[in-house]
Every structure is written in C-alpha cells, then in structure tokens.
Amino acid sequence: MNLKTTVALNLGKFIIFLIKAFGGGATSAPGLLAEIIDPQILTKLSTNLEAGAILITGTNGKTTTSRILSSILQTANLQIVHNRSGSNLTRGLITQLIKAATSSGKIKEDLALFEVDEATLPKVVAAIHPRVIVINNLFRDQLDRYGEVDIIRKKWLDALRFLGPETTLILNSDDPLVASLAKNTKTNILFFGLRDKKNILKKAPHAVDALLCPECSSELKFDYFYISHMGKFFCPNCKFSQPRAQISANFIKLFGPDSTNTRIFVEENGFEINLKLGGLYNIYNTLAAVSAAVCLGLSLPQIKEGLNKFEVAFGRLEKIKIEDKYITSALVKNPVGFNETLRLLFSDKKEKNLLIIINDLIADGRDVSWLWDVDFETLKDFENTITVSGTRYLDMKLRLKYSQITNVASYQNLEEAFQEAVGKTKKEETLYVLPTYTAMLKLREILAKKGLAKRFWED
C-alpha cells in the first residue's frame, strides 16, 4: 500500500469511528471520502481478499439473493465481507472493506459478497476483477435514474467483454435480456432457471420489457411466462432460445407470503426444501444464491442447511409483532416488483390490510408514471380500506380511483398513516406495508423508535 491508500483507509476508519460514536450507521460516507483521496482504493483493498469477490446485480432481488448466499456461506463457516445494509454503490463496498481491513490494509475474511447497483457494475468489475458475477434479471426501473433497460444491458455487455474464464458468470436462463449476455463474453457460464410447468402465465403481463430478441431485434415468441418477460422463449429468426439451466427448481408449491416448498436441482441431483419466503421471484433469488454456492464448491447438504437457516430482511417480507398484530413490509420500486408483490399477497384470494407509501425522492425515482404499469385492477373486488401515504399519495390515490378502488384512506404524513393503518388492522391480523425505498427507511425509523426494528445498519 502506498501513502495515499494508507491515508484514505485510516481516515475512512476514523470517520466510521466518529459516525458510530454519534449513533449513526456509517454505510457509505467513509467510503465516499476514501475514494476521493485514493480513487484506486477499491482495487487495492480487494486484492487482499484471498478467495476473491462475488458480485450480485439485477433490477430486483439483489438484497435478498445476497442475504440468502450469506446465510449459506456462513453456515459453511466461511468468513465474508458483506454490504448487508444494501449500500451498493462503490462507496458502500469501500466502506465495508475499510471496516474489515486492519490499518495496514490486511483483511482476515477470505471472500467478499457484494450486491452492486446495476449501473455501477462496470466500474466495480473493472476495479475488482470478480470471481463470480450473478445477474438475476433486468426490468424497467426508475427510468429517470437508470434509463431504459437497453442502456443498462449495454453497460453490462461492455463490462463483461473483458473478462476471461477465471470469472464465472451466473445468469438467469429465463430472462432473454440476461441469458443473452453469455454470447458476448469469454467467462465461464452457469445458468439457473425455473422448470416448473404449473406456476405459469399464458399471457404476457403489461409491464413487459423484452419482446424483441436481444440478438437480432425480431419479435420473440414465448410458450409461457413466469414473471414479466421471464419464461420459455425462443426467437424464430436467429433461433436464440432459453438455455438449459444447470441449477433449476421444479415442483413449486406457493403457500402465500412467507412459505414455499420446492425441489432444487443441481444438474440431476435434487433436494426438497421449505423456504421462509413466498413468491416465484424468491425462488429465482434462491436459485441465484445456490448457483453461486455451487460455483464456490459447497456441497448440497451445506447449501440446504444454509437455506434452512436463512432469515428474511426488513422490507423484504420480514414479520414484526406489534402488540397483538403483525406488520410485514415489502419494498416496491418498479412495476414488475409491485405486480409480483400483489400476486404474492393476494394469491390466497383473502382480504388484506394494505398501506401503500409512494415517495418521489431521488432514491425512489422522481417519476411516478410507473404506477400506471402496475395492475391494481386485480384488487378491485376486495373490500378492506387501502391506506395510502408518501410524498405522492395523491398520485397513488388517483391510480386506485382509475382501478375502481375508492375505499381509500389517505394521509400525507407517514407516521399518521401508519398509526391509522395499524388501528384498522384487527387482532392477530397482519398489516402489509408496501413502501418505496425512502419510505421504507422512514418506516423503519418509526419502528426503531418504538423498539420494534433494528436500524438498517445494525441488521
């Protein structure tokens, strides 16, 4: 390490000490400062990771996938550096490495596990030269921040082009925008995907982003869909089709918001597992994590044990008890994620207590147009009042009005909305809170004040 790196590292450590002394979390500011002092610090610190780094990216499921993988790796007694708080820009990764490093830059953990923002992936790949990259899916998301999906995909292609077979690229075989990345890189490739023929959609949902073949721009044909544009696809023109998945799931039984039974296969070897997660999208997250574990050489019993020990994260369907009621929140940030959350919550066709919080701060995306790509019409036959809040609560209320849902209570103030929504929830019932990103942080703060949730950096 040269002087610049030493200064950056130790100043970073000092800032972490200060922020913690004042009761804060220190998940990104120290890394931001260290990066300004030494722009190479991410490369320099990560070369000290004996077993390399695993990067996880994609529009939806980064946090859950990395937490499932973390559970598997820890169960197998591997020591890892992990940006658990979800701070996933380079500053977040650097902060985590600074925390793990000694003042001379040594890191005792063998392996880093980083969830990485989609648009930041190229920068991180160039700096770290990762051992494994997991790409889960690509959907439209906060178009004012990220741009259209083609723009993100092009960034990924440019980043992957320079990697060789020492890196393994783990790709979702069912997402044409992701599966096709394999064609343009020299990395080792592993595919994961669903092979269940029961939990399918015959018709494309509205918010579909990949009806054109990413290889030749002809119209793709789909036999069926799992989620949005993920499914069994083929291109009649250039013959590109859903690749064979080495890691797959079949015989899926969905039991509602927090329970699923499935068989997971690594090639032909399968095991049955009960997951404390609901929804098809969480099967994808599980498969992505299993694929990375397989790639690191872990055994099936180790993987299964890790999956059994997994606990859900806040804002990702974690269940919290508040007096004689329960609260579960699920982050909503784009149409596909929101649609899948509704599909999951209402799969049992029973009434639910709902609180929807839509903010439009920069981290949420300033544009709320995407609410009109969410199929709220599916809720119109339910009778319970829906509570709405957030900086754009009026837009949310208007969206519901045009889905013929008028039994809506709205409050600009989040704390008030939360109190009212909890008040309306009956004993032993669950209030499902669907917040955008900054609304989720705010909600968490409210719960932390009541001593009901850890602050996000403590989790």
Strands 247-254 and 230-234: unpaired
Residue 311: CB atoms within 10 A of its CB come to: 10
Residues 211 to 230 in contact with other proteins, rule: CB under 8 A: 211-212, 217, 219
For residues 158 and 121, the answer to whether their CB atoms sit within 8 Å is: no
158, 348, 367, 381: the catalytic one is: 367
Residue 333 is a binding residue for other proteins (CB under 8 A): no
Residue 148 is a binding residue for other proteins (CB under 8 A): yes
Question: Which CB, 50 or 367, lies closer to other proteins?
Answer: 367
Question: Which CB, 319 or 366, lies closer to other proteins?
Answer: 366
Residue 394 is a binding residue for other proteins (CB under 8 A): yes
Residues 246 to 305 in contact with other proteins, rule: CB under 8 A: none
Q: Which string of x and - marks every residue 343-362 that binds other proteins (by CB under 8 A)? A: -----------------x--
Contacts of 429 (CB under 8 A, 6+ apart): 325, 326, 353
Question: Which CB, 150 or 459, lies closer to other proteins?
Answer: 150
Residue 405 is a binding residue for other proteins (CB under 8 A): no
Min dist CB 66 to other proteins, Å, is 28
Pick the piece of the chain touching other proteins (CB under 8 A) from 81-89, 136-144, 245-253, 425-433.
136-144
**Whole-number Cα distances in Å, 183 to 138, 164, 175, 187, 388:** 17, 13, 14, 10, 45
Residue 80 is a binding residue for other proteins (CB under 8 A): no
Residue 399 is a binding residue for other proteins (CB under 8 A): yes
Question: Which CB, 32 or 143, lies closer to other proteins?
Answer: 143
Min dist CB 206 to other proteins, Å, is 6
Q: Is 367 a catalytic residue?
A: yes
For residues 353 and 383, the answer to whether their CB atoms sit within 8 Å is: no
Exactly one of 19, 119, 143, 409 binds other proteins (CB under 8 A); which one?
143
Strands 132-135 and 111-115: unpaired
Residues with active-site annotation? 367
Q: Which residues bind other proteins (CB under 8 A)?
A: 140, 143-144, 147-150, 204, 206-209, 211-212, 217, 219, 335, 360, 366-373, 394-395, 397-399, 401-404
